[in-house]
Structure 1
């Protein structure tokens, strides 16, 4: 096969993985080769690809106790992706692999475990908003982004960008991707939709949405204020904020979390993490008695993966386990099926 043809195939195959996934897998591949180089004697290049099951399990055993289980799992699958990309044989027994990955997770050092992600609540968001100056461009953008992410049960990364220079109109949500319907469906209810051009789970795009809410966390009021203060152009990042020179700057995740945690600290709230927004959204909707499948649809989960939130946060389950369940009329439709 000609080199140029092979390169075209490799370029095409590389699109099978999301950019962030490729970065993680690349790190895993580096660690794998570093391990092979440092072993005594070093593992010959010819034995690294295709790698034998023995070498792959040896690699996991050598790294166990140093990395978290999830990190090692990603590194391992990075090596597998490298085999797939280059058409190399992958011959690993699934049963042994599952056991090995379970083992490395249990051997992970305590320092590798992330602190519990506390959920955002409407009270927390209200207190954060009270400690932001919503007449200032950055604060207006941050609060609008926070309320939209929360009420649409979205990932924070779907409404922010990793860095200012990484904004890509074909991949990141813009002002022109917002559509407002003040009377949707037969019930004529208001809903605002956000087309996300690209997400990790939907490379061709998907739609997030919310409806107006009562009180200070209302995403409609926050979005309106943001547009009044920053007025991003149709092609600008949705939550872009206007700098002193008039240039609209895309809102980065780092800027967002810095302002949120500064406001939270001023309100006497401990450090928060971005994923806690989505967890808190699930908490809020479930406590309203919203059916399980509806919450899954709001958050655009394609599986029951978010039931992990139910197991981790007793607050969600509390209404269902009382002597006289508070949400008893909703239990049959709101709770997931048992397995």
Structure 2
């Protein structure tokens, strides 16, 4: 973080994130008066967490283009007008220009028009809290609102713009910056890898709060089945207790195949080793210093992932970005659209909107030559459907960390307890 933007809670950013310019004095030079000014600002702005989110987005924009620090605070009408246009732009809106006129890569983090207006209110409040006059006049707001209205028409009937996709580069950076021998990080990596390669929504791998975990709704350790298919390739099957494409009371299965260095199966093995758990414990969970198991909360997961991506100047992601990125990955490997539709378990044709996200990735050549392309090519073989045998459910020995193996079926496949390593099963007959 910059000294002007220290690491702090979101609700503190409006007061602690500064500019290099000195605001004009609005009171007499006396310590008591200045103290009263500061506490009056903080008393007026009591709920500042949402302001912190908008302020971070503004600084992301200023870093992307880039804007001199002296021009960020105070901000001009021209700068804020540009920020508002960028904030609501779907990547496909600028796609043709980026392809024909420049080789520059411009990241987008699209939000709805209503959210963009809240961002402008955030910057307005930030100026006041820092002692600057309001940056926008009523006439300025009118002009920006007119532009936002035209951008809203471009968005059509979509309730919100397509989220930016996670790419293989981003997934590689996430793994490289996580100590996967630590419970919290091991869980985040398993969630990230599974959500990407299986095109899963983050609400399927995380909960909104610790108390909201329900084993009848969320996936548990007993819902994971590991084994080998008829060609000898390892696989994992996740039985989702609830899915919108399944009938009421029925589970829906997701099949996971090997995926090279970023393999979700290896991530699940590592999760089981680092965080042993009971059958009804959450699959994606972590263990605290007292040994207690906690389900992974979505907000904390996204915050940890965003801390990595922003450090690499990729901006921020959303839970849906993994699902979009996974779809883009398979489209890049020329997997048929209908297979992506089925594998991603879309109930409607909404998945087709992700083609735009894929085109953005392809246009700016995010999947570069070299190791990343090699990983993608190696992983492409896993995109085809392989014959799968009958499955023996994963069961637990009843204690955390106690391995149990279940062998034998009519087809001779092996199914293993979720807690050993793949090497333990090499050579099994």
Which residue of structure 2 aligns with residue 235 of structure 1? 280
Q: 1:303 aligns with which of 334, 348, 357?
A: 348
Which residue of structure 1 aligns with residue 320 of structure 2? 275
Q: How does 1:56-205 map to 2 (within 5 A)?
A: 117-184=163-230, 187-202=231-246, 203=248, 204-205=250-251
The alignment partner of 1:306 has SS state of helix
Q: Which runs of 5+ in 2 are unaligned?
A: 1-112, 116-148, 365-429
CA-CA distance at 1:317 after TM superposition:
6.9
d(CA) in 2 for partners of 1:218 and 1:207?
Answer: 18
Higher Cα radius of gyration: 2
Moved over 6 A (4+): none
Alignment check: 8 A CA contact 1:232 1:241 kept: no
Do the aligned partners of residues 318 and 261 (structure 1) sit closer, same or farther apart at CA in structure 2, a change above 3 Å counting? Answer: closer
Q: 1:219 aligns with which of 254, 264, 267?
A: 264
How many residues are matched?
A: 216
Cα RMSD, aligned residues only:
3.0
Which residue of structure 2 aligns with residue 262 of structure 1? 307
Q: Which runs of 5+ in 1 are unaligned?
A: 1-65, 69-102, 320-339
Which residue of structure 1 aligns with residue 256 of structure 2? 210
Note if 1:293 corresponds to 2:333: no
Do the aligned partners of residues 181 and 266 (structure 1) sit closer, same or farther apart at CA in structure 2, a change above 3 Å counting? Answer: same
d(CA) in 2 for partners of 1:201 and 1:262?
Answer: 33
Alignment check: 8 A CA contact 1:128 1:267 kept: no
CA-CA distance at 1:315 after TM superposition:
4.0
User: How does the TM-score come out when normalised to structure 2?
Assistant: 0.46
d(CA) in 2 for partners of 1:218 and 1:274?
Answer: 19
d(CA) in 2 for partners of 1:207 and 1:254?
Answer: 25
- Which structure dedicates a bigger proportion of its chain to helix? 1
Alignment check: 8 A CA contact 1:138 1:241 kept: yes
Alignment check: 8 A CA contact 1:310 1:317 kept: no
Do the aligned partners of residues 125 and 153 (structure 1) sit closer, same or farther apart at CA in structure 2, a change above 3 Å counting? Answer: same
The alignment partner of 1:296 has SS state of helix
